[in-house]
Structure 1
Amino acid sequence: MNASRTALVTGANQGLGRALVEGLAARMTPADLVLLTGRDPERVGLAAEEVARLPGTRARVEGRVLDVTDTAAIARLAAELEERHGGVDVVLSNAVARVLPDESQAERADEFIDVSNTATHAVLRAFGPVLRPGGRLLVVASGLGTLGHLDPRLHPLFDGVGLDQVEQAVESWRAAVHQGTATEAGWPVWLNVPSKVAQVAAVRAVAAERRARDLASGTLVAAVCPGMVDTATSRPWFSDYSQAQTPARAAEAVLDLVFAEGADPALYGRLVRFGEVLPWYGGSPLTEQDRMVRP
């Protein structure tokens, strides 16, 4: 990586995003800059100040208001970082919309898709071109992001396609939810499944185009699964939290990818959990009971 590096984390006010910022700030140098981003100006400012004051913090930490549902704002920030810093070295796309088990999945679909998917597409499009050699562009997904978790009828929408096609598939899913035809078409009721599959498919699409030059320069583009994490967003969905990790612990494996030497070809463009690749075609469609107990 460059002598002076710039890192960016989305959805970083709390939980895993906050832990990722803390870990970056501790492992990077005083010459480096870590941008903690989120939608709420007060929360962003307070979180950045708190991380900057931590005893282990070494890098500069700045708060930056960024609504990831505003794709133009994502593009502007990428352009700004290219102009001011010559690009960016680490981008961790982590933002997620909070949905509770007793809420209507259909009624929350637009917000969920905008935050988890439309934003992921925008981050990949905007920051991919300004990612400096040796950089890291990682999208936080989950173990549900493997193709086997979808009805086989939907597999062609996400398998071996480009980013434009992934985007079209996501919008067809959104339309089916609004039209009341999603279940008939094979889409799961639980938004998290197609959303995570689409995130991983988007990463795979971008990585397929960049692979040769990225590996030559030690650059890594991948999706990551942090495992079960004890956060306000995830806790309502699990009946047993005995094996859950703290956000700080979950961040460690992601940060190990960030600071690993070079880029492992076996991990490039894949969904990685604790340093191991999760098979793209693995998994099986979930039952209603499954969705209450699985990460």
Structure 2
Amino acid sequence: MAYRQGMTSPRTALVTGANQGLGLALAEGLATRLSDVDTVLLTGRDPRKVAEAAAALPANVEGRVLDVTDTEAIARLAAELGGVDIVISNAVARVGPTDSQSARADEFIDVSNTATHAVLRSFAPILRPGGRLLVVASALGTLGHLDPRLHHLFDGATLDQVEYAVESWRAAVHNGTAQEAGWPLWLNVPSKVAQVAAVRALAANRRERDLAEDTLIASVCPGMVDTATSRPWFGDYPAVQSPKEAARAILDLVFTPADARQYGELVQFGEVLDWRSGTPPLAQDALLTP
């Protein structure tokens, strides 16, 4: 391995939302790049799918049932493991272009945001020196994709403040005041901004120590990936990647020395995306069902 030279095995890696798509490709890639004595925990909430996915991968992959919306289950798993070397938070709820965004808000927020917060809170304290804690987000996770009225909720926020902002957004969706307050109809935008803000908040308190130990905490954008979740949203895009192709850049981030420029940031194909870049997605909002 390229990072943590001299580190001892066995190592433990964990991927959420890993029984299909990008998560499955990440679990397979980790299993291939790690040694036979290391363990990759492939997690998902459907026992049958988890078992089938793990059985098709190398012997160092272990399937674990984990519903990321159960924050207590996340905490229990972290306590059971006691220490971990690689964590990739990848779980996402599937929402189609014709689905009611408001009707799907709770499920989407629970999987993408509440679960992300729980993963950060539970696994960051047990991340071993030289470890990697990555949250799969999106290029839509930069602050500029939100209405400027909302920027103060996430810019320089603590993790507690990010969590409060997410719950305020959820409440606004339910009481019908979200658009009036500046929240976009498209759930993906505030969700991804909140994911990136949560990672930035966690990293802000650990930066000096983590970099001294070659530990990396970051959010990552895999680019356009051809999965069951994303396929309904795009047509014929030549830049679309297979899950295995998309996993490659994320895995490279895991297996190369930590770069101080990437620490706490949103990284796409090795490059840091400007936190304040982007514009609100008004065109997408016009196409969505409230």
Do the two structures share a fold, i.e. TM-score over 0.5?
yes
With the shorter chain as reference, the TM-score category is over 0.9
Give the gaps of 5 or more residues in structure 1: 53-58
Given residue 26 of structure 1, which amino acid in structure 2 is its aligned partner?
T
TM-score (ref. length: structure 2): 0.95
CA contact (8 A) 1:141 1:223 kept: yes
The DSSP-based 3-state class of the residue aligned with 1:227 is coil
**Relative contact order: is structure 1 or structure 2 higher (C-alpha 8 Å, sep ≥ 6)?**
2
Which contiguous aligned blocks of 4+ residues in structure 1 show a shift greater than 6 angstroms?
none
How many angstroms does 1:291 deviate by?
Answer: 8.5
Q: CA deviation at 1:239?
A: 2.6
Q: Which residue of 1 aligns with 2:146?
A: 150
CA contact (8 A) 2:186 2:284 kept: no
Deviations 1:123-153 (A, max 9, x none): 0000000000000000000000000000000
Q: Compute the RMSD of aligned alpha carbons.
A: 1.1
1:189 aligns with 2:185: yes
Distance in 1, matches of 2:208 and 2:251, equals 23
1:279 paired to 2:274: yes
For 1:269, the equivalent position in structure 2 comes to 264
- Deviation, structure 1 residue 241: 2.6
Q: Tell me if the contact between 1:166 and 1:202 (Cα under 8 Å) persists in the aligned partners.
A: yes
Q: TM-score, normalised by structure 1?
A: 0.94
- Which SS does the other structure have where 2:282 is aligned? coil
Q: For 1:136 and 1:18, locate their aligned partners in 2 and report how far apart those are by CA, in whole Å.
A: 18
User: Pick from 28, 33, 50: which aligns with 1:27?
Assistant: 33
- Equivalences, count: 281
Structure 1: which amino acid aligns with 2:79?
Answer: A
Q: What's the offset of the Cα at 1:290? A: 7.8
* Per-residue CA distance 1:169-209 (angstroms, 9 max, x = gap): 00000000000000000000000000000000000000000
Residue of structure 2 in register with 1:242 after alignment: 238
**Pair 162,89 (structure 1): closer, same or farther in 2 beyond 3 Å:** same
Q: Which amino acid aligns with 2:31?
A: A
Counterparts of 1:216 and 1:21, CA distance in 2? 27
Letter in 2 for 1:128: A
Deviation at 1:242, TM superposition (A): 2.1
Letter of the structure 2 residue corresponding to residue 65 of structure 1? V
Tell me if structure 2 keeps the 8 A contact 1:207–1:268.
Answer: yes
**Does the CA-based 8 Å contact 2:184-2:285 persist in structure 1?**
no
Give the distance between the partners of 2:186 and 2:266, measured in 1 at CA: 20
Partners of 1:240 and 1:163 in 2: CA distance = 38
**Do 1:237 and 1:291's aligned partners in 2 also have CA atoms closer than 8 Å?**
no
- The one-letter amino acid of 1:89's match is D
Matches within 5 A, 1:1-295: 1=4, 2-4=7-9, 5-52=11-58, 60-82=60-82, 87-261=83-257, 263-289=258-284
Offset of residue 289 of structure 1 = 4.2
Identity %: 74
Which consecutive unaligned segments of at least 5 residues does structure 2 have? Answer: none
SS in 1 for 2:140: coil
The answer to whether the 8 A contact 2:40-2:60 is kept is yes
Q: Is contact 1:230-1:241 (8 Å) kept? A: no
Q: Give me the whole-angstrom Cα distance separating, in 1, the residues matched to 2:286 and 2:176.
A: 21
How far apart in 2 are the matches of 1:242 and 1:236?
A: 15
* Pair 130,216 (structure 1): closer, same or farther in 2 beyond 3 Å: same
2:186–2:285 Cα contact (<8 Å) kept:
no
Matched residue of 2:128: which SS?
Answer: strand
CA contact (8 A) 2:12 2:40 kept: yes
Opposite residue 39 of structure 1, the aligned amino acid is: R
Q: Distance in 2 between matches of 1:249 and 1:117?
A: 25
Mapped partners of 2:188, 2:283: distance in 1 = 13
SS at 1:236's partner residue? helix
